[in-house]
Copies of this chain bind each other. A is one copy, B any other.
Amino acid sequence: MPDMASSERVTSIWDIARITGVSHQTVSRVINGKTNVKASTRELVLRTIEEHGYTPSTVARALAGGTARTLTVLTVNTELYGCAATLRGIEEAARLAGFTVAISVLEPGAARTARDVEARLGNPRTPAIVIAFESAGVRALSALNALSDDSPVVGVVERPDSQAAAMAADPTRVWIDDRSAAAHATGQLLGLGHETVHYLAPPSSTAQLGQRGLGWQETLVAAGRRVPDPVDCEWTPRAGYLAGRELLVDPAVTAVLCGNDDLALGVLHAARERGRAVPDTLSVVGFDDAPHSAYAAPTLTTVRMDFEGLGRAAFARLHSLLEPEAPALPTLWEEPELIVRESAGPLRRTV
């Protein structure tokens, strides 16, 4: 490695200034698109930059207190479809706006104090987006909010903290209304003739049933059906399989709503193992519409969630928090939609 010879300092704004024959300030004005620069001077500076390959240091920029254009995403797991897709949405929007995106994974187990989270950001005022679909995220989010009440933090949450926050359209929170989607899915299953619907509950942001679970519950209650105990699960297909294996010994279980698609795949697997034909003797509905769900066997009926749109919206919120006069990006995302495929249908045979 020939690294001895190269004490090469990267070209800085001063180098460009010296070469062009102007002050560093003028160079700064040019690269920031300020107006008070003569066109010819601007041209000259630009050419020098082009020739010498200069890139402004984001680090120095951030230190100097200019617009930081950096944000940190706190999330639990980059492999989970929901998180990954949201992250993708955030990154895409951020990159387009010239932001650098840092990520930091929250281990579900670790108790996160405000100090811990602060250390992640390297600076308490670093803009952040917290993907808070479950408790570790929620803890981190409230820790950040407690740290300073005006810190630029946007939460991607399961639901707003309060009715009031939802009504006031709290600009620091975005969420997908999956409660009504779950209600819709549950209603659909009941409409197919199922006596009741069982629910596999992934970790929620609260100790209680999550929004999806609530939508399921309220639909059953409204229809006067028996509400089975929800089954607590991890996010994995394996968890769905294990839960399914227990659940499906009971022939009365004919419809299962799963908190996400991975769980649903696990249940389908358990159904195969138990010899329960899907959808003839068992209906399974998932959540998320992960890319492979359309190719499961049977293809999975699921609720499509616009995570990327959600991520883009989260960034848009953060951006307008940071730079109020910034061009407003689209801050909307699609409502969840039930995608009907093969895994749910009317009962055709008894078990």
Contact surface of A with B, Cβ cutoff 8 Å: 1-3, 6, 8, 10, 53, 55-60, 62-63, 72, 77-79, 81, 84-85, 87-88, 91-92, 95, 100-105, 115, 118-119, 121-125, 148-150, 236-238, 240-241, 262, 265-266, 268-269, 272, 291-292, 294-297, 299
Contact = CB atoms under 8 A, between A and B. Distances in A.
B85 A294 contact: no
B55 A295 contact: no
14 contacts: A10-B125, A55-B123, A57-B122, A59-B123, A79-B85, A91-B105, A92-B105, A100-B122, A101-B102, A101-B103, A237-B294, A262-B291, A262-B292, A296-B297
Contacts of A84: 78-79, 84
Contacts of A105: 88, 91-92, 95
Contact of A295 (B101, B121, B122, B268): B268
A284 B6 CA distance: 52
Contacts of A122: 55-59, 100
Which 4 residue pairs spanning A and B have beta carbons closest together? A58-B122, A297-B297, A3-B150, A237-B295
Given A2-B149, A55-B123, A55-B124, 5 more contacts: A10-B123, A55-B122, A58-B122, A292-B292, A296-B296
